[in-house]
Amino acid sequence: MTEPFPRPGGGVALIVERHGLGDAFIGLHFLRALQRLYPEEEVSVIASEGLSPYRRSMARVAMPLVDRVIENARIKTPLRQAIRNMRAMPRVAVVFDHRSNYRAVLLARLFYPCDIYLCALPWYWLSARRPRRRRPHHRLDRLMALLEALAGAPADGDGEIALAPEATAAAARLLPAGPRYVGFAPGATMTDQQRRWPLDRFVALAEAAASEGASPVFLLGPAERDLLAPLRAKAPLALTPGCDVVAGRTLEDVELTIALGRRLAGAVSNDCGMAHLLAAAGRPLLVLFGPSDAERWRPVGAHVGILTAQQFGGRRMESIPVEAVRTAFDRLLAGATAPAAERIA
pLDDT in tens, 134-153: 999 999 999 999 999 999 99
Instruction: Categorize the per-residue pLDDT at 91 as very low, low, confident or very high, splitting at 50, 70 and 90.
Output: very high
pLDDT at 2: 54
Q: Give yes or no for residue 180 having a pLDDT over 80.
A: yes
Look at residues 127, 151, 175 and tell me which one is the last residue of a structural domain: 151
pLDDT of amino acid 249: 65
Residue 129: CB atoms within 10 Å: 18
Provide the CB-side half-sphere exposure for 194 (13 A, CA).
7
Stronger pLDDT, 6 or 336, i.e. the higher one: 6
Element containing residue 285 per DSSP (H, E): strand 285-289
pLDDT number for residue 191: 61
Task: Reply yes or no on whether the pLDDT at 244 is more than 80.
Answer: no
- What value does the mean pLDDT take over residues 96-112? 97
For residue 1, the model assigns a pLDDT of 46
Q: Is the pLDDT of residue 250 over 80?
A: no
pLDDT (0 to 100) of residue 190 = 55
Task: Decide if 4 is inside a domain.
Answer: no
Same domain, 212 and 318: yes
Judge if 101 and 215 occupy the same domain: no
* Together in a domain, 101 and 179: no
Lowest-confidence segment of 88-102, 245-259, 318-332 by average pLDDT: 245-259
- Percent of the chain exceeding pLDDT 70 equals 94
pLDDT bin (cut points 50, 70, 90) of residue 243 is confident
* Average pLDDT over the chain, rounded to an integer: 92
- 259 and 213 within one domain: yes
Instruction: Report yes or no on 301 lying in a domain.
Output: yes
Residue 217: pLDDT above 50?
Answer: yes
Flag whether pLDDT at 208 surpasses 90: yes
Q: Is the pLDDT of residue 289 over 80?
A: yes
Q: Check whether residue 283 and residue 199 sit in a common domain.
A: yes
Q: pLDDT tens digit string along 34-82?
A: 999 999 999 999 999 999 999 999 999 999 999 999 999 999 999 999 9
* Residue 220 lies in domain: 165-342
Rounded distance between C-alpha atoms, residue 58 and residue 83, angstroms:
29
Strands 266-270 and 43-47: unpaired
- Gap between the Cα atoms of 329 and 306, Å rounded: 9
Ramachandran sector of residue 172 (left: φ over 0; alpha: ψ -120 to 50; beta: rest): alpha
pLDDT at 133: 83
Is the pTM here over 0.85, yes or no? yes
- Total number of domains constituting the chain: 2
Q: Is residue 242 part of a domain?
A: yes
Q: Is the pLDDT of residue 325 over 90?
A: yes
| Strand, coil or helix: 16 | strand
CA 185 to chain centre: 14
pLDDT tens column, 114-131: 999 999 999 999 999 999
Q: Is the pLDDT of residue 339 over 60?
A: no
Please check the confidence at residue 96 and state whether its pLDDT lies above 50: yes
Closest CA to 89 of 46, 50, 42: 46
State the pairing for strand pair 304-308/215-218.
unpaired
Residues 195 and 170 in one domain: yes
- Res. 192 pLDDT band, cuts 50 70 90: confident
Q: 69 and 176 share a domain?
A: no
The domain boundary, picked from 151, 185, 219, lies at 151
pLDDT at residue 345 greater than cutoff 80: no
What's residue 5's pLDDT?
86
Answer yes or no: is 192 within a domain: yes
CB distance 113 to 89 below 8 Å = yes
Domain limit, last residue, from 151, 184, 208? 151
Average pLDDT over residues 207-228: 93
Tell me if 95 sits within 8 A of 108, measured CB to CB: yes
Residue type, 78: P
What is the average per-residue pLDDT within 246-269?
88
> What's the rounded Cα separation, in Å, for the pair 19 and 32?
18
What percentage of the chain has pLDDT greater than the value 90? Answer: 86
241 close to 217: Cβ distance less than 8 angstroms? yes
Mark whether 249 and 328 lie in a shared domain.
yes
